[in-house]
Structure 1
Amino acid sequence: MKRCTYNPTLFIALALALGVAVGLVVGAPMTEIKFVGEIFFSLVQMCMVPFVMGQIIAAVGSLTPRELGNIGIKAILLFFVTSLIAAAFGVFTSEIFKPGLMADGAALVAGASSDAAVTHVSLAETLTSFFSKNIVSSMAAGAMVPCIVFSLFFGVALSLYREKHKTSHVFSLIEELNELLLIIIRMVMNVAPVGVFAYVSSSVGALGISMVLSVGKFILVLFGTSLVFCALWYVVVALYCRLPLGKLFMKTVPMVVMSAATISSAMTLPVEMEDAKRKIGLRRDICDLVLPLGVPLNSNGKALQLAVTAMFVAQLYGMEFTGGALIQCAMISWLLSFANAAAPGGTLISLTMLFPALGLPMDAIAIVGGLEYITAGIGTPPNVISDVFCGMLVAQHEENGINRDIFFGKKDYVESIDTLEG
């Protein structure tokens, strides 16, 4: 008899669907179990900062200075360009379909009220925040960007040290620490369906069907825009890397489901990295550098989501953007996507910066703020697949960057020799 195996992706998808259904049927009482979902997210997040930092330090430290400059610069340029394209695409589709022009828009505006404080952040302040005065306090605060910057410096120092001394006990220690953290994350992910069900059902129960229906056009445009953007991403990568489109899509399904359920790129990172290496065949050093680096620096979905949200609110309040204002909307959405928190709830922080920067009323947060789980669930999958696809585009120019034998299932991934054999 064939043994039944536990499939986390399948059970998370079922938990997500069941959570939506139960939340709609039961309603507000489901908010009583929200703490279960919050405990699950806390368990995953407790390892995320050291895990991301460790992966980047080990990845950068394993490369020679020449390899580091080649791969790292290409990846960062791709992150910036694709996120800007995503923001522009969100503005473009919103201008065509106008999600804010709806019959009950006046009622929504009239009922909106918010006590959210305006967050004014200048470009100079944003750039300054990328560099930590105290890395321990940055880690404690979960500030991903300064932690990434520190990790890059640490990794470069390790690379230079290993180039000179040929070996490093610190490098071996960090690699072992990464393995231990990954074991903890895998243990926590075994109970992911329970946590996802509790969080989704409580969020939908608090939101209610009426609000979902009243802003249905906005959600539909956001979902359609994200879907088309992702489809174009798949086509571009499949053609550029000369891989079958259908097979490429199937290999990314688990990470897409995980990202939609957890609404966090950071939480999806372990699954994303394993599938990129074991299913797609992405070379280990490229995967271990590009994918963790993409968590704070590559937010295609967030840039697109912020752009569509801004356009929706502007149209809802009769403040439609034209000409240079459309460009400004895309640029600000793009810049704020880099300040995106890698955990659930980060959207609200971004909105308090986005709305005043574009002259939009803060009261609109009362309309879109309650849709956090739905909008983030739509916006997170593009973040995740764009990390992998940027890695694949970089790998296409590297020797044995993508192991096609692994991609087509002709051989299994071997951790210890994949860097040598591609």
Structure 2
Amino acid sequence: MANVQSRKAKSATWIMLSMVLGVVAGVVGGEAMGQIQFVGDIFFRLVQMGIVPFVILAIVEAVGGLTARDLSGLGAKGIAWFAVSSVLAAAFGTLMAVAFEPGAGLASSDLVRNAAVDAEATSSTWQDALVGFFGSNVVASMSAGSMVQCIVFAIALGLVISFWRTGHNGASAVYDFVCELERLLLGVIRGVMKVAPVGIFCYVSSMVGSLGLEVLLPLAKYLLVLGGAVFAFLAAWTVLVCVRCRLDFTRLVRKMWPMSALALGTISSAVTLPVEMDDAKHRIGIRSDIADLLLPLGMPLNSNGAAIHLAVTAITIAQIYGVAFEGFDFVYLVVVFTLLSLANAVAPGADLVSLTMIVPQLGLPLSSIGIFAGLTYPVGAIRTILNVDSDVYCALMVAASEKDGIDRRVFNSEDRL
């Protein structure tokens, strides 16, 4: 186990090094680095090709292996923590954007005046959003990357398997097949992740090379406010978890490092999920049934980083165009930001998809999304680390309320970091 943990730590170090080198190469090479972006695109596609079925199988295995009593207890607690953390994240992001006004002074900049985007508005009622949780064809839902629809199907199948196993002395050929296929898919994903530093270097260098300082400088305050809000919220989350679960702060940060580095490098919660689940169980010590159930569920249902990103970005746009909010407007905004944080795609670039849903609902011009079109990588890196880490923290809070929910021998073991 120590050798495995050591390899993971080294992998995280290589990923961070590839990010740094990618930034340097992008600054030096400029737009010429775009010639190697295809390597990064291939890497992400190789990982993503198995992610959706892996998530479905992981949830089916987790739900199918629980009793009805276990599922209702763990599931209810997890969803409660998801809801509370997402609402608090949306509220905190709103507060930070209102307090620091990242959109002030941008109205006259060339970046804003020339903003344009090839996108269509996506507006819907809360009833439409609720209906959207349920797909009519699971294959189509998988193809579209509609994770909430896929998870609803996985939970339904897992429940049926759980009831079947209860009436057949724990036996189920389908359950055994799901477990084996899930492990095989995990092996494919792990194999692809061995070349993660190469893929991430190519992707980062091409993104940085295409940005240029003329895009970053006008939006420096926006990025600082967004980054500050995310990391302040993450720090508060970490302190709360350490106090509630009686964990050492420094050790927890070290244990979270490999998955955090991967989240920063890949800017995708879905790509990070297999490593996140493995580390939660074997580095942090979360009981397997808790981690296996809550972490796949948390990926679409607990996007704290996405909630903060939507809040800061939408209010920044409102400030640019002189739109003011007051009183109960902020309650409405927090609710909307929370609900739309559930509608994240599983691939990099989900930030722009989310904005096409929130911007029209606030009466803001859709063309304003073009202001942020070049910030997919830095924004994705900022928000994904909180998306991933907050899922683990919610699982830890649930584990702390369960008997033997946290294996402290695993948590207190020394890793070669």
Task: Report the TM-score when normalising by structure 2.
Answer: 0.95
Measured after TM superposition, the shift of residue 113 of structure 1 is: 2.3
CA–CA separation in structure 2 for the residues paired with 1:150 and 1:5? 35
For 1:22-421, what aligned pairs fall within 5 Å after superposition? 22-102=25-105, 105-166=108-169, 167-409=171-413
Measured after TM superposition, the shift of residue 103 of structure 1 is: 6.1
Contact 1:109 1:317 in 2 (8 A): no
CA–CA separation in structure 2 for the residues paired with 1:396 and 1:280? 12
Report the CA distance shift for 1:115/1:139 in structure 2 as closer, same or farther (over 3 A).
closer
Measured after TM superposition, the shift of residue 99 of structure 1 is: 0.7
CA–CA separation in structure 2 for the residues paired with 1:71 and 1:171? 20
Tell me the percent identity: 48
Measured after TM superposition, the shift of residue 269 of structure 1 is: 0.5
CA–CA separation in structure 2 for the residues paired with 1:387 and 1:367? 30
Measured after TM superposition, the shift of residue 321 of structure 1 is: 2.2
Contact 2:106 2:112 in 1 (8 A): no
Contact 2:242 2:248 in 1 (8 A): yes
State the AA in 1 paired with 2:350.
G
Gaps of 5+ in 2: none
Deviations 1:99-146 (A, max 9, x none): 111367543322222332211222222111211111112112221111
Count of residues paired in the alignment: 409
Measured after TM superposition, the shift of residue 253 of structure 1 is: 0.8
Deviations 1:281-327 (A, max 9, x none): 00000000000111111100000111000111111122132222222
The ranges of structure 1 where at least 4 consecutive aligned residues each deviate by more than 4 angstroms after the TM superposition are none
CA–CA separation in structure 2 for the residues paired with 1:391 and 1:343? 23
Contact 1:74 1:394 in 2 (8 A): yes
What SS does structure 1 have at the residue aligned with 2:402?
A: coil
Contact 2:111 2:215 in 1 (8 A): no
Measured after TM superposition, the shift of residue 408 of structure 1 is: 0.6
Contact 2:106 2:320 in 1 (8 A): no
CA–CA separation in structure 2 for the residues paired with 1:352 and 1:338? 14
CA–CA separation in structure 1 for the residues paired with 2:156 and 2:32? 49
Measured after TM superposition, the shift of residue 154 of structure 1 is: 0.5
Report the CA distance shift for 1:324/1:37 in structure 2 as closer, same or farther (over 3 A).
same
Contact 1:54 1:178 in 2 (8 A): yes
Measured after TM superposition, the shift of residue 190 of structure 1 is: 0.3
What SS does structure 1 have at the residue aligned with 2:352?
A: helix
CA–CA separation in structure 1 for the residues paired with 2:83 and 2:323? 28
What SS does structure 2 have at the residue aligned with 1:214?
A: coil
State the AA in 1 paired with 2:410.
I
State the AA in 2 paired with 1:337.
S
CA–CA separation in structure 2 for the residues paired with 1:401 and 1:115? 48
What's the counterpart of residue 414 of structure 1?
A: none
Report the CA distance shift for 1:289/1:105 in structure 2 as closer, same or farther (over 3 A).
farther
Measured after TM superposition, the shift of residue 5 of structure 1 is: 5.8
What is the RMSD of the two structures over their aligned residues, measured on CA atoms?
Answer: 1.6
